[in-house]
Structure 1
Amino acid sequence: MTAHRRLIRRAALAATAGAAALVLAACGGDSEGHDMGSMNSDSAGPSASASAEAGDHNGADISFAKEMIQHHRQAVTMADLADGRASSQEVKDLAAKIKGAQDPEIKTMSGWLTSWGEEVPEDMSDMGHGGHDMSSSMPGMMSGEDMDKLDKASGADFDKMFLEMMVDHHEGAVEMAKTEKADGKYGPAAKLADDVITAQTAEIEQMNKMLGKS
């Protein structure tokens, strides 16, 4: 009788242990499944969010890109003139630096506009200096008459004219960049605006010092 009770007791314990193991396994599976789902959700979330933020832009970003492309193109045209007209090596070096910085930025902004389904502004530099009059409403832009005068100047006269015009031009670009930072939404555009402000403010100081030497 005692042996029989022991067998019953062992069977009951085994059944209880088995049931407990099944319950734990089920709970563990649910927990693991829940955690995995959370992990998948968390890992996908920030990535999708970051992608959305990177592509987020507004009208101010579009205007900034379109106008700064034209603004930069005129600066590059002015810089190109320096090579054969400037008498100062310092002016030539500065012009090369300006072109080297702004050419890649034109390409970057053109890429943004294309990705947004917007048209890249027509390059007016092949239509003569007067073509720039179409953009003369932008801060710091030279008129066609200004560009013609610079084109005809040479030597020390060119150096002075170039520096004075480029100071005005840079001040206009800084103003446009500050507007983008205040009103824009696209992160890379705000970063480029920061770069414009930093680089061109330093160049304005440099050019003012150069003008003071003359």
Structure 2
Amino acid sequence: MKRTRSLRRRTAVAAVAAAPVLFLAGCGDGGNGSAATTASPTASASVPAGEHNQADVDFAQEMIPHHRQAVMMSDMAETRASSDEVKTLAAKIKQAQEPEIATMSAWLTAWGEEVPQGMDGMDHGDATSMPGMMDDHQMDDMRGASGTAFDTMFLTMMIKHHEGAIEMAETEKEEGAYGPAKELADDIITAQKAEIAQMKQMLGTN
């Protein structure tokens, strides 16, 4: 899936005055949820540690509402899903992505940037402009479903949602400058590709 909108690239980067941010490694294991670890920011040889650019800001401001929707979808599975496997996967997604939301929010605060509220991206307003985001009608359909119908809907929509997150993370890896953000993007790609494979197997489409 090709991204419909390129993140803006600015030539200037701003140094983060704050101390290294607590980095919460989200769903990088593809199976162990997320763990909080204190780590010093790392960066490529050409980018000093702690510096970021507009691509990093856009990544955080878009991925936060994107993750929030995945958490909301996962919350629905607790009471609407019939499959224990779906419920377990949904809990794993929520466990991984909530700490990542906190991490990215801390970055934005340290950079003096606004943290998005709800599920709208800062630069877009309409959340569906982000890859893989469900619109209000699709979310309402999920709320109205239960049992095996919900299971199928959850897996189908979460595959699309994960594919969008992977696209956004790949853009961050290509255009971002902040080491921890690029590392998180890599974790997202690894974990969510594994979860997509799992969900396709659960749907019988592999």
Q: Same fold (TM over 0.5)?
A: yes
2:84 match: 89
Q: Which runs of 5+ in 1 are unaligned?
A: 1-49, 126-132
Alignment check: 8 A CA contact 2:66 2:119 kept: no
Partner of 1:120: 115
* Offset, 1:134: 2.1
Q: Deviations 1:47-106 (Å, cap 9, x if unpaired)?
A: xxx8x8222000000000000001000000000000000000000000000000000000
Query: What residue in structure 1 maps to residue 11 of structure 2?
Result: none
| Bigger Cα Rg | 1
Which SS does the other structure have where 1:62 is aligned?
helix
Q: Compute the TM-score of the two structures, normalised by the length of structure 2.
A: 0.73
Q: Deviations over 1:33-58 (max 9, x none)?
A: xxxxxxxxxxxxxxxxx8x8222000
Q: What is the distance in 1 between the residues matched to 2:103 and 2:162?
A: 19
Gapped regions of structure 2 (runs ≥ 5): 1-42
Larger RCO, structures 1/2 (Cα 8 Å, 6+ apart): 2
- Tell me the equivalent position of 1:80: 75
Tell me the amino acid that sits aligned with residue 73 of structure 1: R
Equivalent position of 1:152 in the other structure: 144
Give the letter for the 1:192 counterpart. Answer: L
Letter in 2 for 1:211: L
- Is residue 136 from structure 1 mapped to residue 128 from structure 2 by the alignment? yes
CA RMSD of aligned residues (A): 1.8
| TM-score for the superposition, normalised by structure 1 | 0.71
Please say if residues 64 and 105 of structure 2, whose CA atoms lie closer than 8 Å, have aligned partners that are also in contact.
yes
In terms of fraction of residues, the more helix-rich structure is: 1
Question: Is residue 119–residue 127 contact of structure 2 (8 Å, CA) maintained in 1?
Answer: no
Q: How many pairs align?
A: 157
**Which residue of structure 2 lines up, in the alignment, with residue 53 of structure 1?**
48
Aligned-pair identity in percent equals 65
Spell out, residue by residue over 1:103-158, the C-alpha distance to the aligned partner (whole angstroms, 9 max, x if none). 00000000000000001001249xxxxxxx82100000000100000011000000
Q: Which runs of 4+ in 1 moved over 6 A?
A: none
Give the drift of 1:161. 0.2
**In 2, Cα distance between the equivalents of 1:102 and 1:143?**
20
Question: Using the alignment, how far apart are the partners of 1:101 and 1:172 within structure 2?
Answer: 17
Determine which of 163, 180, 185 is the counterpart of 1:193: 185
